[in-house]
């Protein structure tokens, strides 16, 4: 591992420099990696490994949209594409990438397919950490590990194709073979990670659930709505309110933050923007800090896991989800967003 200084704290990380793809191929040369689930993370991780020369098969329920997607992506039924159970039986590394609710429901079948020396691989610490709710307790004769890309499946694939990769955390929960660490890191390199940093199953899921409900999705959507509604209530047009709330953030400023950091973005905007942002930053931080504290406690106590499992296990889950998403999609703010996006130069009719 390489030691890197993260803001005064030294951490050990794994990069492709000390663990190149050639080494990963050597570690995995006798493995059959079975990717179970072709939904969010499955397609990207499976295709990236296939492109990197790893022996990969996919497990997905036939007759579903995801089965058809797998076929369209070049997986061949009976050769590299199987039912979830058959793929698990054929694999020596079982990448358990079903949804959290799906992992709970399929576990009684999957656990029976695990042979001595197999590796059970996750990209989320959810099922193992909240085992009292999921029932997922790996048997002692298998390695249990995690590689969790810090981005959506789409980003994992897109970043791989452009050569940049996406950062990922990794953890070894159980080492039955004595080779769990090298297998885990090899898999992280094989799926195209930019660099790998160590964690635990518990820390991964606590940070992940907090991040999704917080700044990455829930808080972001909430503060956008609050600012948009304030501007609209004070007479600003939908176009002006959306551009000042979302478009300028996503198309300009956040890119500067991603490239060079918040200080660089501040240094390269107007003096008026600088002063206002610096004056109001702490007010926003202090206002939302109690919400984040409540959120984190709800995560670590398992409350968020129970809410998720209950909601996602209902028969009407998909219908309810679509109803909630439609409410967002049909709101004035995001209808304005659709209009604004259509006017971007790349969408102009030639």
- Which CATH number do you get for residue 216? 1.10.1040.10
pLDDT category of residue 11 using cuts at 50, 70 and 90: confident
- Whether 173 is a known active-site residue: answer no
Residue at 43 is within a domain: yes
The arithmetic mean of pLDDT across residues 291-298, rounded, is: 97
Q: Looking at the DSSP assignment, which residues form a beta bridge with residue 93?
A: 33, 119
Residue labelled with tokens 């929960």? 173
Residue at 250 is within a domain: yes
Residue at 205 is within a domain: no
Q: What distance in Å separates the CA atoms of residue 186 and residue 136, rounded to the nearest whole number? A: 24
Q: Looking at the DSSP assignment, which residues form a beta bridge with residue 116?
A: none
Q: What distance in Å separates the CA atoms of residue 15 and residue 193, rounded to the nearest whole number? A: 8
Orientation of helix 303-312 relative to helix 100-110, angle to 10°: 80
Question: Out of 75-79, 199-203, 230-234, 259-263, which region has the weakest mean confidence (pLDDT)?
Answer: 259-263
Does one domain contain both 166 and 254?
A: no
Q: What distance in Å separates the CA atoms of residue 175 and residue 198, rounded to the nearest whole number? A: 15
Contact 296, 206 (CB under 8 A): yes
Does one domain contain both 133 and 257?
A: no
Greater model confidence, 302 or 254: 302
Does one domain contain both 337 and 275?
A: yes
Does one domain contain both 179 and 275?
A: no
Residue at 204 is within a domain: no
Q: What distance in Å separates the CA atoms of residue 266 and residue 251, rounded to the nearest whole number? A: 16
- For strands 81-82 and 166-174, give the pairing: unpaired
**In this model, does residue 230 exceed pLDDT 60?**
yes
**Average model confidence (pLDDT) across the chain:** 94
Does one domain contain both 145 and 194?
A: yes
**In this model, does residue 349 exceed pLDDT 80?**
no
Please tell me the predicted confidence (pLDDT) of residue 5. Answer: 85
Does one domain contain both 235 and 277?
A: yes
The arithmetic mean of pLDDT across residues 255-264, rounded, is: 89
- CATH code for the domain in which residue 72 is found: 3.40.50.720
**In this model, does residue 117 exceed pLDDT 90?**
yes
**In this model, does residue 350 exceed pLDDT 70?**
no
Does one domain contain both 249 and 298?
A: yes
Phi-psi region of 5 (alpha: psi -120 to 50; beta: other; left: phi over 0): beta
What's the structural domain count of the chain?
A: 2
Find the domain containing 135 and state its range.
2-199
Q: Which residue, 199, 228, 260, sits at the end of a domain?
A: 199
- For strands 93-96 and 81-82, give the pairing: unpaired
Does one domain contain both 222 and 112?
A: no
Q: Looking at the DSSP assignment, which residues form a beta bridge with residue 174?
A: 144
pLDDT category of residue 109 using cuts at 50, 70 and 90: very high
Out of 124, 141, 173, 236, pick the active-site residue. 124
Please tell me the predicted confidence (pLDDT) of residue 8. Answer: 84
Q: Report the length, in residues, of the chain.
A: 350
Q: Which residue, 199, 233, 249, sits at the end of a domain?
A: 199
Question: Out of 149-153, 161-165, 231-235, 344-348, which region has the weakest mean confidence (pLDDT)?
Answer: 344-348
Share of the chain above pLDDT 90, in %: 81
Residue at 10 is within a domain: yes
Contact 173, 145 (CB under 8 A): yes
The arithmetic mean of pLDDT across residues 160-183, rounded, is: 94
Q: Which residue, 168, 199, 230, sits at the end of a domain?
A: 199
Alpha carbon 40 to its chain centroid, in Å, reads 8
Does one domain contain both 123 and 18?
A: yes
The structure tokens listed for 129 are 């950490």
Does one domain contain both 269 and 190?
A: no
Does one domain contain both 165 and 237?
A: no
Does one domain contain both 190 and 286?
A: no
Report H helices in 118-177: 126-129, 131-134, 153-161
Residue labelled with tokens 């497990």? 59
Q: What distance in Å separates the CA atoms of residue 272 and residue 254, rounded to the nearest whole number? A: 18
**In this model, does residue 252 exceed pLDDT 90?**
no
Per DSSP, the three-state class of 253 is: helix
């Amino acid at each position: 591992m390489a030691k890197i200084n993260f803001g005064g704290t030294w951490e050990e990380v794994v990069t492709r420099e000390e663990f190149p793809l050639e080494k990963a191929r050597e570690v995995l040369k006798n493995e059959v990696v079975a990717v179970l689930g072709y939904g969010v993370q499955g397609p990207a991780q499976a295709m990236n490994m296939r492109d990197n020369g790893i022996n990969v098969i996919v497990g997905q329920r036939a007759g579903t949209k995801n089965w058809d997607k797998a076929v369209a992506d070049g997986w061949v039924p009976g050769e590299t594409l199987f039912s979830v159970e058959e793929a698990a039986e054929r694999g020596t590394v079982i990448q358990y990438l079903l949804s959290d609710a799906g992992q709970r429901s399929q576990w009684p079948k999957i656990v029976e397919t695990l042979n001595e020396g197999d590796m059970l691989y996750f990209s989320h610490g959810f099922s193992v950490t909240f085992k009292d709710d999921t029932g997922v307790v790996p048997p002692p004769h298998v390695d249990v590990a995690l590689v969790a890309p810090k981005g959506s499946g789409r980003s994992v694939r897109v970043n791989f194709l452009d050569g940049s990769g996406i950062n990922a955390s990794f953890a070894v929960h159980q080492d039955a073979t004595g080779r769990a660490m090298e297998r885990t890191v090899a898999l992280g390199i094989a799926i195209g990670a930019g660099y790998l940093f160590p964690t635990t199953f518990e820390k991964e899921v606590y940070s992940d659930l907090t991040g999704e409900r917080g700044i990455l999705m829930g808080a972001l959507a909430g503060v956008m709505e609050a600012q948009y509604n304030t501007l609209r209530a004070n007479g600003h047009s939908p176009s002006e309110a959306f551009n000042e709330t979302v478009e300028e953030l996503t198309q300009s400023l956040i890119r500067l933050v991603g490239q060079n950091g918040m200080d660089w973005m501040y240094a390269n905007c107007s003096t008026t923007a600088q002063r206002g942002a610096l004056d109001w930053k702490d007010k926003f931080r202090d206002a939302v800090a109690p919400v984040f504290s409540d959120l984190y406690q709800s995560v670590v106590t398992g409350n968020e896991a129970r809410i998720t499992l209950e909601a996602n296990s209902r028969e009407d889950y998909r219908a309810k989800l679509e109803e909630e998403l439609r409410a967002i999609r049909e709101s004035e703010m995001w209808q304005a967003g659709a209009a604004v996006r259509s006017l971007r130069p790349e969408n102009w009719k030639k």
